[in-house]
Structure 1
Amino acid sequence: MPANPYLQVSGLCKHYGEGEARVSVLHDVSCAVGAGEICVLLGPSGSGKSTFLNLVGGLEAADAGSITVGGTELTALTPKQLGEYRRDKLGFVFQFYNLVPDLTIRENIEVTAHLSANPLAIDNLLRSLGLYEHRAKFPRQVSGGQQQRCAIGRALVKNPGLLLCDEPTGALDYQTSKEILELMETVNRDFGCTIVIVTHNDAIKHMAHRVLRLRDGQLVENVANAERMRARDLTW
């Protein structure tokens, strides 16, 4: 258990379907991620990783258990309060960038900045992301890696306490994947947000403070790394 948990999950259960079609996706999952930690969540397809992320992100409701993020108990919130949680405390980065094609890189980030009471300075963020010189371009005019950087900026500009990343390197080549992971390190160091990265790539666990592994909906690994590797030194 981390000394200062920011994300705390206890007895989390989720199923889909009823009767003979009922499938248990998460069963009695309990874990905690410390404030300011990078956590990597591993597991094969169908292990419950994306469901876990959706529950923590307030996109789905748990059948049982509790989720606490930054002192907020998600399972006790009304739909309106869940929307405020997603707006104020959460950033979400997807494998496929989901950028608005008719908005520039800067405008794609500005869209979510307007949702926050305390957004980050956009020009400073663009520079940190290596996108300042591309700020007036449209998504189709930049590379996949630059589009993913924009997606990270869109999630980060709200100044969230928790950044959830669902396979953020899944659509990228090897070198670009490492650049995005290095950017995650920078984001964690410079902005102090807690980061949960869902991935199939076992090598990424070496850059994390904490490693979680799901198998058939159950948590089978929960360890803190005594020593971490820099993203630039990862190989796979």
Structure 2
Amino acid sequence: MVVVSVARLPPILVSPIRFRTTATRRRLLPSSALRLTRPLSSSCSASSLAVVASMETPPENYRTNVGICLADPSLTKIFTASRIDIANTWQMPQGGIDAGEDPREAAFRELREETGVTSAEMVAEVPVWLTYDFPVDVKEKLNARWGGTNWKGQAQKWFLFRFTGKEDEVNLNGDGSERPEFCEWTWMTPQQVIEKAVEFKKPVYEAALKHFAPYLQSDPATTTSS
């Protein structure tokens, strides 16, 4: 097992976010909103470090899971949604891998089930599994929901997708095969995605987005010269 340290990002100025539900369709962030203009930095102080375990095979006692970073067609912003069951909790789509299911197939399936999106192409994947532990209260709640399991946390395989469809394809009722998980969604910059995530997921988000940073594009209109 390899343990990597993931630094919290330095502050980046961002534009205010406006959100939408499936019933409300409008442009979100103005075109002048700042995007990530460089790979995520690891030059923060030691006090801001978080530790994420990364490994080539998922460890025992962790639920195997896929994480989906769905970028807009220009690869500048990321789909992020607010959970129905937990107020003010925003996240990227994710979901469990079925027995015998290939993680890539699981990623396409979870994307369809949670967002209704089928018009997407895979751009990249994190080559290792990233794990996080559940807080005690979350662990008890989720294991009860999953039928009395005893998972310590989740081992995730992360994938970057590029959205190739139109925004009205997004349907937070998904494909109807699963109970809806989200009530509204928006496009966010990578920094905003991390800032809006719950604390115990932030290190994994930072690690995944660090891997994807070379594929994500900056906005030339907001790039400042030195």
Using the size of structure 2 for normalisation, the TM-score is 0.32
Using the size of structure 1 for normalisation, the TM-score is 0.31
* Structure having greater relative contact order (Cα 8 Å, sep ≥ 6): 2
